Amino acid sequence: MLHHSWGTNEGLIISILGHRNADQRKVIRETYSQTYGEDLLKALEKELTSDFERLVHLWTLESAERDAFLANEATKKWTSSNQVLVEIASTRSSDQLFSAKKAYHALYKKSLEEDVAHHTTGDFRKLLLLLVSSYRYEGDEVNLTLAKAEAKILHEKISNKAYNDDDLIRILATRSKAQINATLNHYKDAFGQDINKDLKADPKDEFLALLRSTVKCLIRPEKYFAKIIRLAINKRGTDEGALTRVVATRAEIDLKIIADEYQRRNSVPLDQAIVKDTTGDYEKMLLAILGHDDA
Amino acid sequence: MAFNQELEAITQAFSGHGVDEKSLTTILGKWDPLERESYRKQTSNFFIEDHERQFQRWNDHCVRLLKHEFVRFKNAVVLWSMHPWERDARLAKEALKKGPSSYGVLIEIACTRSSEELLGARKAYHSLFDHSIEEDVASHIHSIDRKLLVALVSAYRYEGSKVKDDTAKSEAKTLSNAIKNDEKKPIIENDEVIRILATRSKPHLQAVYKHYKELSGKNLEEDLNDLRFKETVQCLCTPQVYFSKVLDEALRIDVDKNIKKSLTRVIVTRADIDMKEIKAEYNDLYGVSLPQKIEETAKGNYKDFLLTLIARGG
């Protein structure tokens, strides 16, 4: 049915896919392929237009495949302002990240690490490679003595502007999120400022921006996501696809919390901001997915 | 058996890997006090003669060493019955604790296991030690090796057979140039070399190895001066040669106790994987069969256990 009269059926796509959860979408995709002999995604690709298509495409993918797809895109189109790799490596759970890497093997016949190593250079590569290779311990245990010691190391390196220092990067890339949280709390207590304020020494430095994003993604992902949505909606910066990406990737995780954070920071509910900024089927699909989370 | 023969048998029972429990029971167990005193007097490396007080006492150091030999069988049994993930996690932790002389074990685990096996080891490490393997490696190692070792234990290599030959060729060239420039820029700090070795799939690295040989006429690990890199390349590209060499070193008389432990480690960890190929390679390299060498060098239950493990799968 979808297959045969596309032009007038974006509404159908929205209502069928927009309100379904991941398991249901998987079944729909499988059934479609059995019935029509074609991958639903390929069929959609032929018929839909940019923002809407991309949103539907991302939404229909399974989460591991989705992350693999986004990561692959990010390595191929990598620029020093690209945050997608940091985002995926740092906001996903250890197992989610590994599932993404496994899907990456299957989809692209190589490892994510090879591609990241191959397409990035210098300090960026140092940070990104370690981030995507990590398999962080996920327990709540925190070693306060270690937190104090590592807060000191971080502060020392940052004060010396040694932002690419091996120890600085290893702490951020290998310690558990709970441990990093404790370390950064201690950092603030001991040195008076949030680490990200200290990492803003040069607002134009893209590596510092990436470090700040890493920190945010690790300990306050909802703030990170709310911010990049805001920047995308206000057409600032280069991450225009952020709205699509965040809605599609966080919908079944923490989109509601992100929306609350967005409203807190901008005094406007996210759905209103979306209505104001987007149109047509794209808008409708975004709202469907956003609302779907409430259902 | 004449007493001298029995003496020899007991001496043999205590030399090598493990102990000959049977001889100890049947021979030593039946000796009367005079025979035992004779034994003590004639075994000066185990017993110290106290001339003043007229008796012979055990050399404490030897007792400690013997403890290791008695317990070798138990350790093998425990290691063998462990889930391979726990096994690798514990081996890695131990290697980290022991220090630089054992870092080769980290390389061995990171490079000879499949991607899923290494992932499993990382999971087990979380469970056992409440840390990730990479955080411990990164925070405990401060030498130049750190970069390479962290990269290797964090790897999750693609396991398919697809290889881009052009890329393999160009990476062989990159390695060749890096090796030539070793004096100006030491290989151990070379990000490109580490990247290639730590992220590429094994089939890809085999292709790189082949192209390197065509380029420079030598095998890659021969040209690498750094021990860690040599081990890395061997484990990745020619694991059975690597394991054969480790076994050969472990099967010598009077080796360092850590090297001695590698006998158990290699046999237990490879018995179900590629022991057949390792046996063949060992035979090619050293002209003697592995079972035969073990028969000569190991003792008792430990020996029987190892031989049973090796005989699995033909």
Instruction: Give DSSP secondary structure letters for B29-93.
Output: GG--HHHHHHHHHH-TTTEEEETTTTEEEE-HHHHHHHHHHHHHHHHHHHHHHS-HHHHHHHHHH
**pLDDT digits 0-9 by tens, A228-282:** 999 988 876 667 789 999 999 999 899 999 999 999 999 999 999 999 888 888 8
Q: What is the mean pLDDT of chain A?
A: 89
The residue with tokens 């009367």 is B32
Element (H, E) at A213: helix A206-219
For range B54-67, the mean pLDDT: 93
B134/A101 CB distance under 8 A: no
pLDDT in tens, A58-100: 999 999 999 999 999 999 988 888 899 999 999 999 999 999 9
Please check whether residue A227 touches B, CB under 8 A: no
Using 50, 70 and 90 to split pLDDT, how confident is the model at A45?
Answer: low
**pLDDT category of residue A1 using cuts at 50, 70 and 90:** very low
Question: pLDDT, tens digit, for every residue of B88-107?
Answer: 999 999 999 999 999 999 99
| Closest Cβ opposite residue B132 in set A98, A110, A174 | A174
CA A67, A70, A74: angle at the middle one, nearest 5?
Answer: 135
What is the C-alpha end-to-end distance of chain B, expressed in Å?
A: 37
Q: In the predicted model, what is the mean pLDDT of residues A111-137? A: 94
- For the complex shown, is ipTM > 0.85? no
Q: B240 CA to chain A: closest CA distance, Å?
A: 25
**Which residues in chain A are closer than 8 Å to B150, comparing Cβ atoms?**
130, 170, 174
A125 touches chain B (CB under 8 A): yes
Q: Give residue A20's pLDDT.
A: 81
For the cut 80, the answer to whether the pLDDT of residue A225 exceeds it is: yes
How long is chain B?
Answer: 314
The rounded radius of gyration (Å) of the Cα atoms in chain A is 20
Residue A47 has a pLDDT of 58
Using the predicted structure, report yes or no on whether residue B151 has a pLDDT greater than 80: yes
A with B: how many residue pairs have Cβ under 8 Å apart? 85
The answer to whether the Cβ–Cβ distance between A135 and B132 falls below 8 Å is yes
In Å, how far is B193's CA from the nearest CA of chain A? 11
Please indicate if any CB of chain B lies within 8 Å of the CB of A141.
yes
CB contacts under 8 A, A 32-61 vs B, are none
What share of chain A in percent tops pLDDT 90? Answer: 69
In tens, the pLDDT along A166-189 reads: 999 999 999 999 999 999 999 999
Q: How far is A29 from chain B (nearest CA, A)?
A: 26
Assigned token pair, A285: 């699909």
**pLDDT score at A295:** 44
The first and second tokens of residue A119, run together, are 């397409």
Phi, psi of A95 (to 5 degrees): -70, -35
Please give the share of chain B, as a percent, with pLDDT higher than 90.
87
Per the CB < 8 A criterion, the answer to whether A260 and A293 are in contact is no
**pLDDT for position A48:** 59
Give contacts of B156 with chain A, Cβ < 8 Å: 98, 101, 111-113, 133
pLDDT-derived band at A46 (thresholds 50, 70, 90) equals low
Nearest CA-CA distance, residue B48 and chain A, Å: 48
Check whether B240 has a pLDDT greater than 80: yes
| Mean pLDDT, range B38-56, rounded to an integer | 93
Cβ-based interface (< 8 Å): residues of B facing A: 119, 122-123, 126, 130-135, 138-139, 146-147, 150-151, 154-160, 162, 191, 195, 198-201
Whole-number percent of chain A with pLDDT over 70:
93
State the DSSP H helix or E strand holding residue B48, giving kind and residue range, or none if neither: strand B47-50
CB contact under 8 A, A114 and B146: no
Q: Residue A5: what pLDDT?
A: 45
Q: What is the pLDDT of residue B116?
A: 95
Examine the pLDDT at B202 and tell me if it is beyond 60.
yes
Res. A159: pLDDT tops 80 = yes
| Percentage of chain B lying above the pLDDT 70 cut | 99
Q: What is the pTM of this model?
A: 0.86
List the single range of A135-139, A193-197, A278-282 with lowest mean pLDDT: A278-282
Nearest residue on chain B to A134, alpha-carbon basis:
B154
Integer Cα distance of B224 and B176 in angstroms? 10
